[in-house]
């Protein structure tokens, strides 16, 4: 088994053509070791969501490679990439994306059902317990708070024990206390389960839960910071914003 959960090589994504070409990603090389928590930060438009979409196989890079668990998946067709997303990549969105007419326990088991597999009820129960929602298992999303819904979404993304869990601003819609609970769940999945997490965030406090921060500017890696603190990250972000507006 590869020690690297996710790797991108010369990852490039351009949109449009001619004078209207936008280089959302201009050649990114990054590797994420198993069992690590990385935050991806950068000014608006720096390519963070494009990076996650390419890594998840939702979008195809213009150039470069994407390797998941050591397997080059760049040229996989749509059917194989759908299976990849279902089985080996967990995705958590800012807006939760739970099915409103399914209970928490049914939402968590959904990836297995979509894959035509038996739902492992014991694992679903353990995951809901892990995110602190054992007593809310049969609630519909509409009767859960935002933070509780996001924790259901994380439990669902962990169901298949994916190679990597990708999260696009998972705390963006939450107040700071609720955000801390969600970040604690992500941190715990790394510490206890050996999960690999890559999280896009604008929030220096959220980034401080990660082992390392990767900064993107104009579709390029502009720096990295190990053992980030909220203050150090905020300082670096202010500096990067100056670079962009300059």
Ligand X SMILES: Nc1ncnc2c1ncn2[C@@H]1O[C@H](COP(=O)(O)OP(=O)(O)OP(=O)(O)O)[C@@H](O)[C@H]1O
Residues near ligand X, by CB under 6 A: 15-16, 22, 24, 42, 44-50
* 40 vs 144, beta carbon nearer Mg ion: 40
Burial 184-193 (b: 16+ CB within 10 A, else e): ebbbebbeee
* 48 vs 130, beta carbon nearer ligand X: 48
Structure tokens at 120: 């492992």
Instruction: Answer with the entry of Mg ion, ligand X, none that 82 interacts with (C-beta below 5 to 8 A by kind).
Output: none
Q: Does 95 bind Mg ion (CB under 5 A)?
A: no
Q: Does 59 bind Mg ion (CB under 5 A)?
A: no
* 127 vs 197, beta carbon nearer Mg ion: 197
Rounded to the nearest 5°, which phi and psi values hold at 71? Answer: -100, 130
DSSP reduced 3-state for 112: helix
Instruction: Give 36's DSSP letter.
Output: -
161-200: contacts with Mg ion (CB under 5 A): none
* 16 vs 70, beta carbon nearer ligand X: 16
Residues in the chain, total: 246
At its nearest, how many Å lie between ligand X and the CB of residue 108? 27
Cα distances (angstroms) measured from residue 102 to each of 94, 119, 140, 202, 241: 19, 14, 6, 31, 42
CA angle at 192 for the pair 200 and 148, rounded to the nearest 5° = 55
DSSP reduced 3-state for 109: helix
Q: Does 82 bind Mg ion (CB under 5 A)?
A: no
Give 19-22 contacts, CB < 8 A, sequence gap 24+: none
Taken in order 47, 51, 54, 58, the sign of the CA dihedral is negative
Instruction: Answer with the entry of ligand X, Mg ion, none that 101 interacts with (C-beta below 5 to 8 A by kind).
Output: none
At its nearest, how many Å lie between Mg ion and the CB of residue 15? 14
Instruction: Answer with the entry of ligand X, Mg ion, none that 50 interacts with (C-beta below 5 to 8 A by kind).
Output: ligand X
At its nearest, how many Å lie between ligand X and the CB of residue 78? 18
- Give the integer Cα–Cα distance in Å for 218 and 54: 16
Q: Does 49 bind Mg ion (CB under 5 A)?
A: yes
Taken in order 184, 186, 187, 190, the sign of the CA dihedral is positive
* 50 vs 150, beta carbon nearer ligand X: 50
In the complex, residue closest to Mg ion by CB: 49
* 14 vs 49, beta carbon nearer Mg ion: 49
Instruction: Answer with the entry of Mg ion, ligand X, none that 24 interacts with (C-beta below 5 to 8 A by kind).
Output: ligand X
At its nearest, how many Å lie between ligand X and the CB of residue 216? 7
At its nearest, how many Å lie between ligand X and the CB of residue 115? 28
Positions that interact with Mg ion (CB under 5 A): 48-49
């Amino acid at each position: 088994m590869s020690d690297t959960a996710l790797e991108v090589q010369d990852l490039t994504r351009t949109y449009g053509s001619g004078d209207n070409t936008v280089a959302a990603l201009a050649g990114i090389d990054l590797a994420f070791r198993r069992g690590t928590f990385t935050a991806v930060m950068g000014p608006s438009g720096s390519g963070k969501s494009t990076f996650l979409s390419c890594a998840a196989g939702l979008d195809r890079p213009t150039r470069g490679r994407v390797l998941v668990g050591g397997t080059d998946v760049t040229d996989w067709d749509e059917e194989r990439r759908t299976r990849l997303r279902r089985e080996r990549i967990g995705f958590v969105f800012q807006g939760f994306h739970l099915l409103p007419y399914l209970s928490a326990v049914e939402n968590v088991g959904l990836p297995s059902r979509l894959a035509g597999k038996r739902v492992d009820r014991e694992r679903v129960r353990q995951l809901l317990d892990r995110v602190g929602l054992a007593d809310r298992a049969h609630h519909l999303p509409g009767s859960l708070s935002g933070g509780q819904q996001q924790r259901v979404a994380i439990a669902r993304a962990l169901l298949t024990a994916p190679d990597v869990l990708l999260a696009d601003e998972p705390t963006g819609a939450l107040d700071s206390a609720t955000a801390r609970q969600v970040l604690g769940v992500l941190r715990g999945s790394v510490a206890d389960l050996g999960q690999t997490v890559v999280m896009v965030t604008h929030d220096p406090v959220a980034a401080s839960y990660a082992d390392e921060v990767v900064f993107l500017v104009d579709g390029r890696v502009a720096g990295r910071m190990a053992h980030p603190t909220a203050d150090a990250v905020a300082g670096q972000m202010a500096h990067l914003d100056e670079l962009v507006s300059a």
